[in-house]
Amino acid sequence: MGQVNVTISGKTYRMACDDGQEEHLESLGRQLGETIEMLRGQFGEIGDQRLTVMAAITLADRYSEAERRVIQLETEVTGLEEARAAITERADSRELGIAEAMESLAERLESLAGRLNGSDPLGGNA
């Protein structure tokens, strides 16, 4: 179990975290501290507790907006995947149609060539 000292608004807090998460926890502490300082700049000294609550709500709002955006992007990705599948299906269908048309044309050409050469379409003589 890792441990980190996080400083927020000039106060140091010792916190435990999973091994390897120390840097992430420090980063989160910095974000909270920066948000508190930004709010302190906007509202002045209105009390540490109020600033901390306002910072928590501000960060929760950012998180909520990011979560909403992720859901929106996931929906868009699903739509794009469905569109890609439909386009692939149409392309496969058209490719099959073209192959069938080419096969039919080849058979007609063989038959025509056989008639022109005086043989039957199977290559024998008439």
37 found inside a domain: yes
123 found inside a domain: no
107 found inside a domain: yes
121 found inside a domain: no
Give the total number of structural domains in the chain: 1
Burial class for 52, CB neighbours closer than 10 Å (0-12, 13-18, 19+) = middle
With a cut of 60, say whether residue 13 has pLDDT above it. yes
User: Quick one: pLDDT band at residue 123, thresholds 50, 70, 90?
Assistant: low
In tens, the pLDDT along 27-46 reads 999 999 999 999 999 999 89
pTM of the model: 0.64
126 found inside a domain: no
In tens, the pLDDT along 75-108 reads 999 999 999 999 999 999 999 999 999 999 999 9
124 found inside a domain: no
Domain of residue 13: give its range: 2-116
With a cut of 80, say whether residue 119 has pLDDT above it. no
State the amino acid at position 43 in one-letter form.
F
User: Quick one: pLDDT band at residue 121, thresholds 50, 70, 90?
Assistant: low
pLDDT given at position 118:
80
For all residues of the chain together, what is the average pLDDT? 92
125 found inside a domain: no
**DSSP readout, 48-106?**
HHHHHHHHHHHHHHHHHHHHHHHHHHHHHHHHHHHHHHHHHHHHHHHHHHHHHHHHHHH
Distance CA 4, CA 23 (A): 8
21 found inside a domain: yes
User: Quick one: pLDDT band at residue 126, thresholds 50, 70, 90?
Assistant: very low
Residue range 51-74: mean pLDDT, rounded: 97
pLDDT given at position 122:
56
